[in-house]
Each structure stands twice: as C-alpha cells, then as structure tokens.
Structure 1
Amino acid sequence: MTSGILFDFNGVIVDDEPQHCDALIATLTQYGYTLDRDTYYREYLGFDDRECFRFTFERMGRPADEPALQEAIARKHVEYERSIRATMRLVPGVADFIENAALDGFQLAIVSGALRSEIDLVLQLAGLRPHFAEIIAAEDVGACKPDPQGYNRARQKLDLLPKRCVVVEDSIPGLTAARAAGLRCAMLATSYPVDAFGDADLVWRDFVGHDATELPWAHV
C-alpha cells in the first residue's frame, strides 16, 4: 500500500529563512516599522506572510484589511524573489532524499504557508517539481499552522489514511499542526535547536545520510 510524505517547505526543502527574514525586514521598513532578526526568529517563525503582516500592522495600529495585506505580501514577494534567485540554498541532502523517495514509490506533497509562486520558483530552480503530487500553499487554506487544515487537505488529496503519512517539519507550529492532524512527525533542526522538539517522533539535523524508510511510520 502506498505511503505519503508531507513536507513543510521553508527550512525543510529550501534553507531560506534568512531570505524571508530579510525580505520581511525590508518590506516593513517601507511602512516605517523596524524589525530585527532576533525578534523575527522569536515571534514570527512559522507564520505565513498574511499573519506576519496582520500581526505587525495590528501592533502598529495600522489597518490590516485584505487590500492592505495583499499589497504588503506583494511587496515582500518582490524582495524574496530577488534574494532567492541570487542566493538559493537547499537543505543539505534534501534533493537526493526527495528523488530517492519518489523512485521508491512514496507519494510526496508540500504543505506550506509560503506563496505558491515562491514554492514553484524554488522547485523549478532545483529541478524537483515533478516529484510532488500535491502542493498546499498559503492561498489554499483559511488558516496557517498550527491549524491542521493544510495537512488534512494534503492527506485527503493523496487519499491516504493518517497512519500511512509522515510529516517532515522544522517549526513548533508545524509540529503542532501535524499532531492536530493525527500524523507522525519528523523534525529537522534547521530553525530550532535539537532539544526544542520534545514531542517529535524523530529529529534529524538535515537529510544527509537518511532515506524515507527511516521515517517514523505508524504502520511499520
């Protein structure tokens, strides 16, 4: 019977949290708001773009209606795309891991708070797009992680039972979302220290030297 691997994107496939951080800082500067890196990693990590701007605009006492959020998201996307095209870096070992998992017959999906255009850009640049049967992006859900909506939707689209799926995440909100969806979860210590994931089924530093059979499958 087929099994599925549901990957987060930022910090799991592409090591682009620095680019997202810089893009958000640059965009918020346009609105007269100063954000530093420490605050980004402490308070913003795991948010999608909409939640980043809603959270900040409310702090500023600035309108956070849909047109304002869409304008801010578009501005950040310009900053992100410029940066990622110049300095894209995949998480170590992820390309081989994905290619081998696909060859071994696993169904692969991405569940992310990133924009679909950003996911597609990175996958095309990395040559990995053909391996993914489903992509659930920010535009496809009504709530970001830790809400489990994205993982539930991806699993349903793959037509798999929870016990046939494993999530690969790097953030605490992502781990919470996986748990709320009833899924086992392997964590990568790319955004948090290894000892931050007490509730994880498995923790790796990256994908180097690993393959999909090592994931914490419930049916094994």
Structure 2
Amino acid sequence: MDKRGWRKDRNNFLIKGVAFDFNGVIVDDERLHFESMRKTCEPYGVELTEKKYWEKYLALDDENAFREIISDNRDKLRESDLRSLIAKKISGYMELLNEGASALFFPKAVEVIKKLSETFRLGIVSGARRIEIEKMLALGEIEDLFEFIISAGETKRGKPYPDQYEKAVELFRLKPSEVAAVEDSIGGIQAAKATGLFAIAVEHSYDKSYLKKADRVISSISDLTVETING
C-alpha cells in the first residue's frame, strides 16, 4: 500500500467512488462555453480571446470567471454587471446547446459511464449549472447512474478550491482515499488533490505536459476502465 492508501492488489483496492467533472470530461462543450462567454462580453467592448479563456477561465465556474473578467476590465465593467453577465451567458449557452446537444458527448463517454457504474458509485462535481448537467445526462439516458450532482454555486467556493470535492466525499460517505476524480483541467486536478483524492486527468482540453500533477493521465474518457482506476 502506498502512503495514501491505494492498494496495488485489485481485490483489496480501496477506490469505491468516482467523481466526474462534466464539461471537458463527459461532454465536449467547452467551445460552447467559450462562445457564449465571448458573445456576452462583446457588447461591453471586452474582447475575450480563446487563448485567454483556455488559460485563465476554463476551470472556473461562471461567477468566478466573470469576477476575473470584471477585475481585468475595470474600465469597461463594474461589479454590478456580474448577475447580468451570468444570466446572459447562461441564456446564450442554452441556445447553443439546444442546437446540437446530443452530439456533444465525447466518443464512448456514455458507454464508459454505464460500464463503470457496475463497479463504482458515481457522482458529478462540476462548475457548470445544474440545469445544463441534468439536460445532458437525460439526453444520454445516464442520469440515474449518478448518486449526486454538485454544481456551480452549491458550495462556498468552486475549483480550484477543494470545497466541491470535500462535499462529494461527504455525500459518498467515503474516505478521500476511497474516491477517484476524473478531470480535464489544472484547477480541477488541484481541487481533487487538495482533498486527497486519486486524480485522473483526460487530455481533452490540455496535453499531458499541463496535467503532470495528476496521479494518472489518459488520452480520453474512452480509455477510462476499471483497471485504469484500480491501477
């Protein structure tokens, strides 16, 4: 057994729960989030580039992303704009989502989740809005496979802080060493590791060089198996 308690013997392995990030792990909708955020900022004279979104805002929930955008653009935005920005972004995202939602699942994502649910207890830990997550899970007919959803605004702080994963451990009623997290972002990995979880990163949004703090890195969710999690 290593220092955090993950056993090499599969029969005695301690991982019992798997907490999935949503955007960029199960569904390939990060571009929709970027486009809806970019279009929201545009009327205010704020240019949001794809590079800046990926580097600075991807791991944040809407509220914290817009707080950062406001802070970076004090000459064009005010704190009082926050709620309006969030509402416009959500509306824009939902419009884009409705145009092609069923095509947004990463290849094999639904099949992988169904297979893993036979062995592990599953949960969602995401910076997305609950309505967005529930809509997509229902489309994939996998909503009943997850014990819980922890979404934006349901903890005091979002990723990269550990609050959401701490709540996941509590809802699973497991020890941190008994839970694995599946993430695609640096902030998500940081949150999982700060909670003491086994962090698995998928190279959907960043390449391996950016994900080196994860305990394990895989190319895509299609590579996520019982053996991958059990090590």
Common fold: TM-score over 0.5? yes
What does residue 35 of structure 1 align with? 48
Q: TM-score, normalised by structure 2?
A: 0.87
Looking at structure 2, the residues matched to 186 and 216 of structure 1 have their Cα atoms a distance apart, in angstroms, of: 11
* Structure 1 residue 2 displacement after superposition: 7.6
Superposition misfits of 4+ residues, deviation over 3 angstroms: none
What does residue 55 of structure 1 align with? 68
CA contact under 8 A between 1:13 and 1:90: conserved in structure 2? yes
Structure 2 residue matching 1:199: 3-state secondary structure: coil
* Structure 1 residue 26 displacement after superposition: 0.5
* Structure 1 residue 125 displacement after superposition: 1.6
Looking at structure 2, the residues matched to 3 and 14 of structure 1 have their Cα atoms a distance apart, in angstroms, of: 23
Q: Does 1:86 align with 2:106?
A: no
What does residue 132 of structure 1 align with? 146
CA contact under 8 A between 1:146 and 1:177: conserved in structure 2? yes
CA contact under 8 A between 1:93 and 1:206: conserved in structure 2? no
What does residue 6 of structure 2 align with? none
Gaps of 5+ in 1: none
Give the number of equivalent residue pairs.
214
* Structure 1 residue 130 displacement after superposition: 0.8
Looking at structure 2, the residues matched to 187 and 162 of structure 1 have their Cα atoms a distance apart, in angstroms, of: 17
Deviations 1:132-177 (A, max 9, x none): 1011101201111110000000110110111211000000000110
Identity %: 33
* Structure 1 residue 81 displacement after superposition: 0.9
* Structure 1 residue 216 displacement after superposition: 4.7
Deviations 1:2-43 (A, max 9, x none): 810000111011111110000000111132211121221122
CA contact under 8 A between 2:15 and 2:177: conserved in structure 1? no
Looking at structure 2, the residues matched to 209 and 55 of structure 1 have their Cα atoms a distance apart, in angstroms, of: 34
Letter in 1 for 2:87: A
What does residue 77 of structure 1 align with? 90
CA contact under 8 A between 1:185 and 1:216: conserved in structure 2? no
Structure 1 residue matching 2:177: 3-state secondary structure: helix
Looking at structure 1, the residues matched to 99 and 220 of structure 2 have their Cα atoms a distance apart, in angstroms, of: 23
Question: Could you say if the C-alpha distance between residues 171 and 209 of structure 1 is closer, same or farther in structure 2, counting changes exceeding 3 Å?
Answer: closer
Gaps of 5+ in 2: 1-13
RMSD value, Cα: 1.6
Q: TM-score, normalised by structure 1?
A: 0.92
Deviations 1:60-114 (A, max 9, x none): 223224xx3222111111111111222331122211111111123x111111111
CA contact under 8 A between 1:5 and 1:107: conserved in structure 2? yes
What does residue 79 of structure 2 align with? 64
Letter in 2 for 1:174: G
Looking at structure 2, the residues matched to 121 and 49 of structure 1 have their Cα atoms a distance apart, in angstroms, of: 18
Q: Does 1:97 align with 2:112?
A: yes
CA contact under 8 A between 1:12 and 1:91: conserved in structure 2? yes
Aligned counterpart for 1:152 among listed residues 139, 148, 166 = 166
Letter in 2 for 1:121: K
Looking at structure 2, the residues matched to 216 and 196 of structure 1 have their Cα atoms a distance apart, in angstroms, of: 23
Aligned counterpart for 1:167 among listed residues 181, 198, 222 = 181
